[in-house]
Chain A
Amino acid sequence: MRRIYLDNNATTPVLPEVLEAMRPYFGESFGNASSIHHHGQETRAAVERARDSVASLLGCRPAEIVFTSGGTEGDNLAIAGLAGAGDHIITSSVEHHAVLHACKHLEETGCEVTFLPVDGRGLVDPEDVRRALRPNTKLISIMMANNETGVLQPVDEIGKIAAEADVYFHTDAVQAASKVPIDVKRIGCDALSISGHKMHAPQGVGALYVRRGTHLRPLFYGGRHERSRRAGTENVPGIVGLGKATELVMQGFERGDDKKISGMRDRLERGILAQVDEAGVNGEGAPRVPNTAGIYFDHIEGEAMVISLDLKGLAVSTGAACSSGAIEPSHVLTAMGLRADRARASIRFSLGKQNTAEEIDFALALVPETVARLREISPVYRKTAISI
């Protein structure tokens, strides 16, 4: 069966150039980057080249980059590394679980946490951030782009508020990196996490920007890797892959890849809404990353929609997947004030570099027909079902 993948906010395929760049480091170039000899020097050089690339993507110094195992580790390292018992943290109710659950854990161990609401478009009001500040506020952690809606938060303004209040500012940029340009100086953040597999590098690698001079407590104890901020032998192939993917992202921005993707996304979004009534875009009216379309289709169940589309070869998602693969109602959409049934009727389409115009045509033909079928049968069956 032909399979089309429009779930790039979940993960992305590793690009052939990235795989090629990584290949030697699974084989002949196997050294431990901490070793003195030739083998170690070879992989050390590769790791530092990757660090340079990531630093230039984020607009920081190479020494400010800490390689991690991914977005979740970066978020945990930033939050637990910057705040502790007695401190107050400000975050939002639409963060990824990597931030939300890290904050909830700290709350149980002696931190105070404010979970800020969002408006109907999914936006945090910077004035809410300012009002939430307390004398013991130590950290603000607000995401750059949301994974379910693609909505971009006003991080520049929040960064200014954090700077004025002399409070650390961390932003989870996992869903923003590779989709919009990032400049840590413009944002004014002290920490920013990214993940490799959301930008066509492999799963299991990521990076955390930590502003020079910021004291960060490590999560792991061991050797003095990553300037004592992250113990453990470097994942050299993964780091090389992340470095290569970062270069491709920067080249892509110069070529205008983001505009090409937003063009396809807009065509998909408008095409679906033109053919399907009682549907709409989650986060409409807010600035969004170019690749994400979160769309609700009233009177359907997102779960049945995702399964039906998958059986026809189109991969999309709804809500946030939990470990068993079952679908739980989305905390993001609920926080935006969507009714429970509308939250459950929401589907996320997220595009990647590899998607083609023809694939969008396929989705544009399949989605309206599937919605129509689900709407047609669901209430009919319910009338005949008898409960005892």
Chain B
Amino acid sequence: MSGGVDSSTVAAMLRAEGHNVIGLTMQLWNQRRLAGHEGMPEQVTGRCCSLDDVYDARRVAEHIGIPYYVVNHEERFERDVVRPFVAEYLSGRTPIPCSLCNNHLKFDQLLVVAQQIGAESVATGHYARVEYDDACGRWLLKRPADRSKDQTYFLFGLTQEQLNRTLFPLGGMTKPEVREQAREHGLALAEKPDSQEICFVPGGDYKRFIDAYLAESGEALPDTAGELVTASGEVIGAHSGIHNFTVGQRKGLGVATGSPLYVIQINGADKQVVVGGDEHLYSRTLRVRRINLISVDDLREPMRVSVKIRHRHEAAAAVLEKVGGDEILVTFDEPQRAITPGQAAVFYDNDIVVGGGWIA
């Protein structure tokens, strides 16, 4: 229970259905920890793990009459989400902390806690569906009824064991329906706005977060400054550090040319940021590593699917092909714009999530 509308409504609905419900909030990050560091806001309110949200979740639990506990997983969150997030940026990739959090915290640690306290399943407010398929004998992860809230992109790492013990009660509902349910259950937070940004990065400024985080840990920010080069290798300037860039970025390159320039590649090893025209951003292939397959147990032959390469990407037709032990080659029918290392590639067969992995 994050203290938001979705998880609160899930708790109220399950309770009304007669389930024996226990509310849990994961305390993952101390929002006050970096407050007041240079460039960071003094006050942080209305976000996951803030005292306000814990207060909201507690009020909901009290209102619907369920036991409620806050469980502290700050250490694990820092180790498995925050540190990799910083390290990925510093090596020139663009990470997705929400997927790491789902894989390591919400559907790992939280399932451990659930089992410890005697709960059969964990229900969350994610927009996704989970179903058991008798034909193939596997648990399936499917896209939700409300496509605009689809969170399956962040859930590709769920294992069969995890899916078996997970409930997504909002999978068949739209957001307005969820708010309506919240109102019907008399939840005071029915109109609370959705959270958008990364929960531990106030204001969404990840560069300032990295600076403040390293400063607080007493670590020097590594020097990731280097050259700005064109696709043909011509040096056209200098940049302040590769972690300040992401593939597809146009603003803030610090060079003036006639036609618009974009970051087309970040070369972590050489600290080079490669820039070029829009046409250079398109590519037909990508490689995926650290793969989790859901609807199939293995990829024995090439498979036609559609592939999403970022959360707000329209899944595009492609063929998957296993190359080596834990690597898949994705070949799109049409070239895709701004394929970004560090993001996830998630494979879909219509509504069904086939699996996914991390873009190399």
Contact = CB atoms under 8 A, between A and B. Distances in A.
A binds B: yes
Nearest to B104: A387
B115 A377 contact: yes
B157 A326 contact: no
Nearest to A300: B116
A303 interface: yes
A374 B71 contact: no
Contacts of B253: none
A328 interface: yes
A385 interface: yes
A383 to B, nearest CB: 10
A301 B116 contact: yes
Interface stretch (B34-42, B105-113, B233-241): B105-113
Contact of B118 (A311, A324, A378, A385): A311
Interface string B114-144: 0111100000000000000000000000000
B69 A307 contact: yes
B283 interface: no
A354 to B, nearest CB: 23
A177 B58 CA distance: 33
Interface residues of B, number: 26
A311 B70 contact: no
B161 interface: yes
Contact of A326 (B70, B103, B111): B70
A303 B67 contact: no
Given A307-B117, A308-B116, A325-B54, A385 B70 contact: no
Contacts of B117: 304, 307-308, 311
Given A325-B54, A384-B161, A388-B157, A378 B112 contact: yes
B112 A388 contact: no
B111 A385 contact: yes
Contact of B159 (A308, A374, A386): A386
B22 interface: yes
A382 interface: yes
Interface string B203-233: 0000000000000000000000000000000
User: Which 6 residue pairs of A and B lie closest in terms of their CB atoms, listed nearest first?
Assistant: A304-B116, A326-B27, A326-B72, A326-B70, A388-B157, A325-B70
20 contacts: A304-B116, A307-B113, A307-B116, A311-B67, A311-B118, A324-B70, A326-B71, A327-B70, A327-B72, A377-B116, A378-B112, A378-B115, A378-B116, A381-B111, A385-B108, A385-B161, A385-B162, A387-B103, A387-B104, A388-B292
